[in-house]
Every structure is written in C-alpha cells, then in structure tokens.
Structure 1
Amino acid sequence: MPDKKTTRLPIIKINGNISQNDPDLVVRETPLTIFLNGAEFVTLVCSPANLYELALGFLCSEGILQHKKDLKKVALEEEKGIIQIETAKPVIEEEYFMRRYITSCCGKGRSSFYFINDARGTKTVTGNISISIKEIKNLIMELETRAKIFQTTGGTHGAGLCTPKEMLLFFEDIGRHNAVDKLFGRSFLDELQLEDKIIVFSGRVSSEILIKVAKIGIPIIISRSAPTDLAVKIATELGITVIGFARGDRMNIYTHTNRVKI
C-alpha cells in the first residue's frame, strides 16, 4: 500500500505481446534544504522519511557535527522541505564547502581529487573487530529482508549498522549516500560508539562512501555491490576492510583481510 515513501501511478505494463493498464507502486523523491545557522547550506534529494537523521548524518559525515553537544537546535518544516539547524559553535564557511582541490592521499604521495571538507577529520581507522563468513552472510540476508521499499518498488538503497551478531539500525533511501547518512544521524542522536561497528550496504562503494565511513571511524563495510578502485586504494591506506559482491555464498574481500575469519 502507498505511504509517504511511495505512491501509486497508472502505467502500461508490457509483457511480450501483451500490454495492460496496471497501477504500479513507485518510490517518492523530494528535496530537503538544510539551513545551517540561518544560511542556506545545501539541498539533498532524498526519500521523504527520517529527515532529521538524514540532515544530521550529512553534517556528521562532513565533519560539521562530531558530538551531540555541537548541536544547539533543530527545526524541521517537512511540508516546505526545509530543516533549520543551529550549531553551538561557528562552522566552516559556505564558500569552501564544495571547493575541489588536489591533495596527497594520506601523505603517501598519491594525488587524488577531494572536496576540501573531505580532508578534514579523515584518519586511519583502527577498530579492533572481526567477523566470520557466516556472520557476513547472515547480515546480508538481514539487509535483504529489511529492504521493504526496495522489494515493492526496486527504487531504493539500504544501509544497516551492525555488530557481527545483529543489525542495530536500518534505513532505506533513493540515494545510497543518504541511506548511510541516516545511519550516522541516528547514531549521533543516540550517541552510539561506532569503532566496533560494521556497515552493511546495498550500493556501490565509491570513494565518497568510503570517506564517509572513514570519518565516522567504522572499520568494516560490506556491500552486495562493487567497490571502485579509488575506494579500495583509500581503504587500504585508512585501515578499512572492504567486502564486496556479498551475495549468497560468494563475496570478495578487497582490503585488510585480517578482520575476516576465514
């Protein structure tokens, strides 16, 4: 049934030589504009749910919020697609927010493009955690089971925050970055420790996703999809275990295999 995350639209379905009018459930998409300390900061295109978590998680992954004491006030105007966030201290100037520059990755001489804010707060992840092949398979099965919107629309990505034994949080969104940010936002609000946690993910592990994970300090990311070469390079240097193509009995372990009990 439709809810605020989905809508039913009239479509024509084609199956071979047969066509028929048959309404279909389609995932909803909406803009959310973040105003930071009274100034328009950024607009995210997202699924219209868990908007508090999305906005706060986005600011966490950008290094603007690090501790709950950094947050002064949040006011969501859902009908207008606006969220007002006030921080306890001044933050990075907006003019620098999306500026690109070239830097040497992790001091090892590799030149890579980053947003200027990506260079802030990124450090080697040293979380002491391990996971077995069986536990990886169980977490991927849980990810698939919880992805209810994807099951009915095929239009979302899912992300779960886990221990090796269980999934603690799960969110879906039309954007894979958004799904991860919603995890971060809820973890921020609940003041969860993340150094011993795992992210299980449905989407491609790009360099942007990897950097988000590094900033938060999570040591393992498991995905049903592929990583990019730059994500693997960064993960190698920052101490993050990347597991991709985790489907059924198959998976690829790309980096820091010492955390996987084989």
Structure 2
Amino acid sequence: MHKKSCPEEYPITLVVNGYEVAVFQLTHQDLEDWAYGYLFSEGLIEHKNDIVSLKVEPDFGAIRVVLGNDIDAEKMLSKKKHYTAGCGRGVTFFSMTDVKTFTKVKSKKSYRLSDLLKRRAEFAKNSPLYLETGGMHGACIVNEAGEMTVREDIGRHNAVDKVIGHAVRQGLNPKNLILLTTGRVSYEMLSKAAKFGFSIIGSRTAATKQAVQLARYLNIELVGYLRGKMAIVYTSTGRVIDDVTEQAGTQPNLRVLP
C-alpha cells in the first residue's frame, strides 16, 4: 500500500496598511501570488503597482502589505465580511449583489471540448502537491499557446487567488486565458474569476446554483464535470464546441443545461 504524506495548512494573518483583515488557512507555497490575487479579487488593488510593499513572514504566520495612498483600504475592509464555504476557509467582502455590478464578459472566442478535456488531464498530471498528498486543490490558467500555470492550496478559493495573483503580477490579459479548477464553483469562486475577466471557467466538479446565475448574468461560460470525455455546460454563451461527440459518433458528451 502506497502511503501518501498529509497535506499541510497554516494560519496566516493578512495585514493591510496595519489593518488585520483575517486569519486564513493556507498552504505555504506561492504566498505572494495568493496575496496579490486575493487583494485584486477583493477590489483592493487594480494593478500590481498599487502595492508599495509586500512581506511574507511564514515563521510569524503573517503577510504584511502596504498599499498606495490613493487606495482607500479602510473603507473597503470595513464592509461586511462573507465567510466562504469549504476547506481552507476564507473571507470575501463581495456579496452576490456586488458581483452583479462587475463588467460583463464580451469575448466571442470559442473553445473545443476536446481541448478543454485535454488541458484538464494535463492539469491533473502537473499538480505535484495533490499527487504527493491526495488532499490538495488546484487552479490553473491556460493561455492561447496551451501553456499552463498551476497553483495549489488546501483551499479551492485560495488556489484560484494564487493563479489570479500570478496573472496580475505578470500583466496577463484575461481575454487570452482559460481558468480551470479542481473545486466546486460557488458564488465567491465565480466572483474571483469574474473580477479578473475570464470568459470561461472549467471545473472537474459541480457549480452551485448561485454561481450559475451569476455566470449567466455576467456572460461567463461555466463548465462542470470536465472528466474523461464529458462535461456539463451550465451557461449558453456558445464558447464551448462539442467536437468529441462528432468524432466518437456516440451520444452527446456535452450536456447544456437550459
């Protein structure tokens, strides 16, 4: 019997301009990416240059961030907190009503189902912490060339923050990227993706009803159960083309919900 190591998680306090935002359960890898991604997802920064300094102190369980003077961090952080569901519990300052004010996606770019399934399989093979422990979530962004960046964490929403943080730090254009995740897509996960501007989000598991409603409203293509040769499309933007059924000549692999 192969014995896997246990996944790790640590309490990390995020401190912004001297204000303690919350204590998050995080995996130690890629904490700078997480901080950039979380602050962007929550509307505290719009560009990487909005951060004057960022210091990760894993031995003290803290990440200390100083934002530019034109950022009203106190006003944002005084909003009501919404605690996220699932592993690696987090906190968001956006309600569903807030998310509906985000810019709607206008991309007309389409993707073949076979490509999404292929990328999902490659993603699984390039998730070292999951392969080592069997207990990690992952998120991945794929560019037009098929190149992928993978980040992992004990929490599904933390992993998404990490890949968004990488994209923000690298100045990547969301119009040219696909977001894939191992975790359930809930409304706060959808809000993170919507804030960055992804036009398509794929998951190996389900999406909640609230996430589907928001995706439809914001014109985001939301795909669940990307496994083997099947998928469920919760939305109807037409960005996912079922070329798998055509090749196999079998029953539809792409189920589009009304």
Q: TM range, normalised to the smaller chain?
A: 0.7 to 0.9
Cα deviation digits, residues 123-150 of structure 1 (max 9, x gap): 2111232110110111111111012221
Q: Is the 8 A contact 2:96 2:187 kept in 1?
A: no
Q: What residue identity is the alignment partner of 1:141?
A: A
Q: Is 2:137 the partner of 1:137?
A: no
- Choose which of 140, 143, 161 in structure 2 pairs with 1:160: 140
Q: Is 2:95 the partner of 1:90?
A: no
- Per the normalisation by structure 1, the TM-score is 0.81
Q: Which moved more, 1:88-97 or 1:122-131?
A: 88-97
Once the two structures are superposed, the pairs formed by residues 1-262 of structure 1 within 5 Å of their partners are 24-88=4-68, 89-92=70-73, 93=75, 94-98=77-81, 115=95, 118-119=98-99, 122-163=102-143, 165-262=145-242
Q: Is the 8 A contact 2:156 2:183 kept in 1?
A: yes
Mark the structure with the bigger radius of gyration: 1
- Per the normalisation by structure 2, the TM-score is 0.82
Cα deviation digits, residues 169-218 of structure 1 (max 9, x gap): 11011100000000111111111111221101111011111111111110
Distance change >3 Å, CA 120–CA 56, structure 1 → 2 = farther
Secondary structure at the counterpart of residue 244 of structure 1: strand
| Distance of 2:179 and 2:99 partners within structure 1 | 22
| Distance of 2:143 and 2:111 partners within structure 1 | 9
| Distance of 1:98 and 1:44 partners within structure 2 | 13
| Distance of 1:152 and 1:77 partners within structure 2 | 25
Q: Is the 8 A contact 1:127 1:218 kept in 2?
A: no
Q: Is the 8 A contact 1:159 1:179 kept in 2?
A: yes
State the 1:115 CA deviation: 2.9
| Distance of 1:117 and 1:30 partners within structure 2 | 32
Secondary structure at the counterpart of residue 96 of structure 1: coil
State the 1:120 CA deviation: 8.4
| Distance of 2:45 and 2:150 partners within structure 1 | 21
State the 1:81 CA deviation: 1.3
Q: What residue identity is the alignment partner of 1:238?
A: L
Distance change >3 Å, CA 254–CA 119, structure 1 → 2 = closer
| Distance of 2:41 and 2:97 partners within structure 1 | 10
State the 1:255 CA deviation: 0.7
State the 1:163 CA deviation: 2.6
| Distance of 2:97 and 2:15 partners within structure 1 | 18
Cα deviation digits, residues 32-57 of structure 1 (max 9, x gap): 11110122122211111111111111
Q: Percent identity?
A: 31
Q: Is the 8 A contact 1:98 1:117 kept in 2?
A: no
